[in-house]
Chain A
């Protein structure tokens, strides 16, 4: 036990000054020093006593956190009227009232207008407590399912990567008391880094085979399952090096072969691995980052650049890069700085291919508005000039024209929010043209539009939202803004018929353990065959408008908040997965971006976990 200091033993008493201040607050102008001292001692003693008793209530509620209900209970037990109210923003928190022999301290509560209450966005009621059965161990072995902690904690994985000697001698199932460890240490008196062997069991080899096959295979349903497994299963760390090699080699080969589909699949694997909370990925970043970068800035990623939507891949990979930067950037590895520098260098070269230029722009824009402002804004003019030459010039190659169009759109999209905050209205088209050259007109239009529209599209806007755009991006303040702050609601997305009506159904029953304010989309495959070869459907699908309907348990309430007609553009083909552009039609405020269902973290797996039957040991053997 640590040495107890005087401070610990005696705690602290209230100061005389605070007594005087408190006395003044209840109308006693002058309090003698002696009286204040006397009071301070007594009050400190009584407060400590109350806290001591509150701790009993905390212990019996099996908590380690003292809550105000515990204090209330302790007060009640001492026959003291508990405080009514807890949090207050006012400097003088409690009002006093007495009468009928009772003395109350309470918080002044403002009257609430019922209309306000109904119209405003109210915090959600807490979710009901639910029961989830799962196996903690089977015949003494803990299964690696998402409900259980990962067999090797991230910290241990980190330790392993720094010094392989730390790796446990044998694949011990969790919890076995380690006895041999001590001996091992003694032997290792000389610091020789041993080679740690990562042997995969037969099951793990099979798993690896299945997962990699499913990830790049043609069966979309299997792929979804495999990605889900990659993203949520604990205990994949032993296979991680193999998975990374698979991805890296895959990217290397398929870039050369211009196989867009496979590149997309591989990037989705990266995404899944990034999403897996139990993996210590730092070790493999040096391999993953080049691969992801390749998918962003490579000159050519597909067979027919004029037709295929390789832009989506670039967008998606950019988001991955942003996610990597956000998750792993530290002051020592400086990932974000290095990535930014890499993209900026690409911008500065005049000869860089247009597709690479697009990738670099996209990659930078995903890193946040600040990056956009500093690195992209100064180059608007030169990029504009280059784009102009391809769009308006005489010798037009189709590929360049398309690329330039994309760049133009991208520039306008990412710069509009920046300019909106940077420049003060009024906006004149001429000023813009003068400042930004060719792109000025488009930027002007976009900024004006953004100003008139209170709720901007938050896709590439702030860096953070761009990163979080994985599963879904909600237009803040849009119709479903009400549901957005809900901690861990699950929205089931179903395609009940071929008509592409998306039913969002907040189901309180199912709960993910990771309840960090994230929407989780449970996606079921629609009956409409999405097809497996799908690279060229982009044109048709972008034109296709889908009505998205929200259904909640309480439809009336929900629809009250909804704009009656909310039209969204759903990108429905594979190659399109990266672009989450929601298009506002007719200036309607709600702009909603829905990710491709493929990215949705699929929770089916968890839902399908059968509650183990009591005493049913038969299926264990």
Chain B
């Protein structure tokens, strides 16, 4: 911390009359009163905080930008593209500096002249920046603050960097030098300069690319061994055999393999986190039974692939004209929850079993607690309904999430709250208030108990259902956090943001462990592969990007959608990736092929492998009848379920 900053802090302390703190700080900084007095005159709080104070001649900006541009264009082809990456941040900071110093007209003319020739994915930012034409506008403006207070990160090879440095030293253009020193951060690496395609693949985010440092720490992306269920599985196995005897036609193949479900995962994944890395409540008997049921279902699963395509059942919401915001299906595909614009949540049952509520207190007393089927007995059979409505929110419901045991439902809303609902008594249990602004997304952890939320306030938060305050607050995004997803092993949390970055946070430490840039627009959907190693993300830029979490590299860019992609899902066998969005199509991608072709040999931390592009992996595309898709889901047996909204206004 330099002197001027220190004095600025002192000034603030004085302003708010925080004498003791002031004294303490002075003592620690070994600053005499005299010194602080002196520096006070020279420094101004605002100038330190904004860092745009400059008495540069407005004419000099355009001149030096032109010069820089000429230098970039005249440099050798191998360095050209990497050098080109500095043009955008330089332009942005020049513009802001000029606006800040009141040279509005000059700033506008600079932007008009050079703005349109920037990369297409920067145009949106430039448009937003161009709105700012006065110093006052910069106050509280999300984008300008981001540029102001963060260095723009540029990855650059050693050779390119030295070339640039030489140029800057030769020219001695004070304006340029100042901006580059203050606002740009060069993340240098050894090796060959990158080409245009490689640069385009990872650039586009607000704040530049990810640093190498961001993706260095180890991520336990594996799935830990499932807890021992064999003891419980005994009686179940008997049942199976009993059934088999009933149907002698059934192929006997299954019997020969002794309980194939439980022997499969005996060897543990080297990349898996220790089982006790994150504390989880103990499993109840019910959970175990549920798990076994799921495993048995899974054994009847169809293995999908290019040769065996899935069947897809589409639930179309009729009369939903613009009222539905989100939809979610339970893990066992028995219920569908839909969040509406008019602040209600509606739950439908997708199976013949109706949605029952619990018996009244008096009736519950009569239930024998010792009974095996106490959970069934406590429900009131007469209360069964095919759909139920949950009222409580005060604004559009932007996301809903079922707990793994299907007894709880979370919803988040524009009214800044998250609500926990009981699906047994069908009322709201808890209102979690913590976000100060609308909450965009909420997700239950795959283990239950924990859940995570993301919102307009640029944070993601980790909660536990029994705490009314968040356990962790993950800050770091420069803009809204639009979507959130738990890693299948619950240890990590992926966030997608309007700053076009995808981030992986460690739930236990709260640090970010991966930072992935490459999206050109806000990210709206995330999905982890079944193996846990890959992350798929998609958003307004109509692309589905696949990331390798082991090093945080972009693996593939699946293009084909024409409008925002809002939902992603991996098949239960992990072979297919499904995406759907506002363009009313559902696309199936061959994920196995993608993984096979991604050779992991030539990949290391610093070097991005070549990015695979879409078309080759597209297996099928199914159009719906002018119904944008809001949710896709695979059942345990790999039947694809899609939820779509019929938009009657579009039909011809």
Contacts and interface: CB of A to CB of B under 8 A. Distances in A.
B116 A3 contact: yes
A620 interface: yes
For chain A, the bracket of interface size reads: 35 or more
A189 B133 CA distance: 56
Label chain A's interface by main secondary structure: loop
Interface in A48-69: 48-49, 52, 56-57, 59-65, 67, 69
A612 B313 contact: yes
Interface string B551-572: 0000000000001101000000
Interface in A10-41: 10-11, 41
B348 A131 contact: yes
Contacts of A174: 621-623
A425 interface: no
B25 interface: no
Interface stretch (B7-15, B156-164, B640-648): B640-648
Interface string B137-181: 100010000000000000000000000000000000000000000
Contacts of B623: 148-149, 174-175
B200 to A, nearest CB: 13
Interface string B23-62: 0000000000000000000000000000000000000000
A413 to B, nearest CB: 34
Contacts of A140: 308-311, 619-620
A131 B644 CA distance: 10
A614 interface: yes
Interface stretch (A211-219, A303-311, A508-516): A508-516
Contacts of B358: none
Nearest to B136: A42
A42 B132 CA distance: 10
B381 interface: no
Contacts of A246: none
Contact of A48 (B131, B297, B438, B652): B131
A207 interface: no
B639 interface: yes
A615 interface: yes
B80 interface: no
Contact of A617 (B311, B351, B651, B652): B311
A351 interface: no
A284 interface: no
A59 B564 contact: yes
A515 B321 CA distance: 11
A299 interface: no
B110 to A, nearest CB: 12
Contacts of A62: 324-326, 564, 566, 582, 628, 630, 645
Interface string B625-646: 1101010000111011110011
Interface string B93-122: 000000000000000100110011000100
Contact of A59 (B414, B522, B622, B651): B522
Interface stretch (A121-129, A435-443, A585-593): A121-129
Given A9-B111, A516-B651, A134 B316 contact: yes
Contacts of B651: 513-516
A147 B641 contact: no
Contacts of A91: none
A132 interface: yes
B311 A614 contact: no
A144 to B, nearest CB: 11
Interface in A109-149: 126-142, 147-149
Nearest to A514: B651
A367 to B, nearest CB: 24
A615 B115 contact: no
For chain B, the bracket of interface size reads: 35 or more
Given A73-B396, A129-B323, A140-B309, A60 B440 contact: yes
Contacts of B324: 62, 129
Contacts of A516: 648, 651
A84 interface: no
Given A73-B396, A614-B333, A135 B351 contact: no
Nearest to A63: B322
Contact of A129 (B115, B320, B641): B320
A513 B637 contact: no
Given A45-B131, A132-B315, A61 B646 contact: no
A61 B311 contact: no
B420 interface: no
B396 A69 contact: yes
Interface string B482-497: 1000000000000000
Contacts of A615: 297, 333, 635-637, 639
Contacts of B641: 614
Nearest to B646: A513
Interface in A290-345: none
A52 B311 contact: no
A617 B437 contact: no
B646 A617 contact: no
Contact of B313 (A41, A128, A136): A136
B188 interface: no
Given A59-B522, A129-B324, A140-B620, A4 B636 contact: no
Given A140-B309, A516-B651, A59 B540 contact: yes
Interface in A473-490: 487-488
A6 interface: yes
A60 B398 contact: yes
Given A1-B120, A56-B498, A62-B564, 12 more contacts: A59-B564, A129-B317, A131-B336, A132-B317, A137-B312, A140-B310, A140-B620, A147-B625, A148-B623, A511-B318, A515-B651, A617-B311
7 contacts: A131-B318, A131-B348, A137-B620, A140-B309, A149-B625, A175-B620, A614-B313
Interface of B: 108, 111-112, 115-116, 120, 123, 126-128, 130-134, 137, 141, 297, 302, 308-326, 333-334, 336, 338, 340-341, 346, 348, 350-351, 387, 395-396, 398, 414, 437-438, 440, 456, 480, 482, 498, 522, 524, 540, 563-564, 566, 582, 586, 615, 618-626, 628, 630, 635-637, 639-642, 645-646, 648, 651-652
Interface of A: 1, 3-6, 8-11, 41-42, 45, 48-49, 52, 56-57, 59-65, 67, 69, 73, 77, 126-142, 147-149, 154, 174-177, 277, 487-488, 511, 513-516, 612-615, 617, 620
